[in-house]
A and B are shown apart, each in its own frame.
Chain A
Amino acid sequence: MADIIVDAKGLACPMPIVKAKKGIDALQSGQTMELHTTDKGSMSDFKAWVNQSKHELIAAREENGIFTFLVKKG
């Protein structure tokens, strides 16, 4: 179970990434965030975003157009 769940479903670019940033800012190092999005570019966006940060992408999947990401704060 993630420490915080961020729902960015239905939101267009750049809101999912902005919400993710806000979510991760609220966490302590080692805690996890689960993020839900529907923006079609989400998979590339979040892989790139996590790559550029010290956070870790633990899981990323797509199901029926809904993307779910689990990110651990670095």
Chain B
Amino acid sequence: MEKEKSTIVLFSGDLDKAIAAFIIANGAAAYDHEVTIFFTFWGLNTLRKDELVPVKKGLLEKMFGWMMPRGADKLGLSKMNFAGMGPKMIKHVMKKHNALTLPQLIELAREQGVKLVACTMTMDLLGLQQEELLDGLEYAGVAAYLGDASDAKVNLFI
């Protein structure tokens, strides 16, 4: 039997939206769907390694890299961020409710075989290089995404 497919575009780099995207992705994988998350623009920051990776960059790219959150644990909230207090509060509440953290959700998604695809065009725009992102990602553009999306019944843009 051909597996059903689901895709998500994660455009946002907000913690709450990324959590929602990964919960849906993990749920779809539990439905035995083939799941693709396509990361573009600010969503790419979710995939950044949390350590500083020495790569050659121009001044503008360096500034972008410095201003954007380095990894899933550093993302801010879309509402009530309060200069970083919001994420601390929400992480505390999530722990209390036994909900998985974003890094744990990403790990679970990978364990369940969710395909994580980084958009190469926006990586260039934001000056992000493959070495700075998590290992084991796929790299592609809009055509690859549409190829997956046109076979899928559930396609979300977050």
Contacts and interface: CB of A to CB of B under 8 A. Distances in A.
Interface stretch (B8-16, B25-33, B59-67, B123-131): B25-33
Contacts of A20: 30
B152 interface: no
Interface in B7-60: 23, 26-27, 29-32
A14 B98 contact: no
Interface of A: 10-15, 17-18, 20-21, 49, 52-53
Contacts, number: 33
B121 interface: no
Contact of A18 (B97, B98, B108): B108
The 5 nearest A-B residue pairs measured at CB: A21-B30, A12-B99, A17-B30, A14-B27, A14-B26
A14 B99 CA distance: 9
B82 to A, nearest CB: 24
Contacts of A11: 98
22 contacts: A12-B97, A12-B99, A12-B100, A13-B99, A14-B23, A14-B26, A14-B30, A17-B27, A17-B30, A18-B26, A18-B29, A18-B30, A18-B108, A18-B112, A20-B30, A21-B29, A21-B30, A21-B31, A49-B30, A49-B31, A52-B31, A53-B31
Interface residues of B, number: 13
Contacts of A14: 23, 26-27, 30
Contacts of B26: 14, 18
A38 to B, nearest CB: 9
B98 A21 contact: no
A49 to B, nearest CB: 7
Nearest to B28: A14
Contact of A53 (B27, B32, B97, B100): B32
Nearest to A38: B98
A18 B30 CA distance: 5
A12 B27 contact: no
A14 B114 CA distance: 14
Interface string B104-142: 000010001000000000000000000000000000000
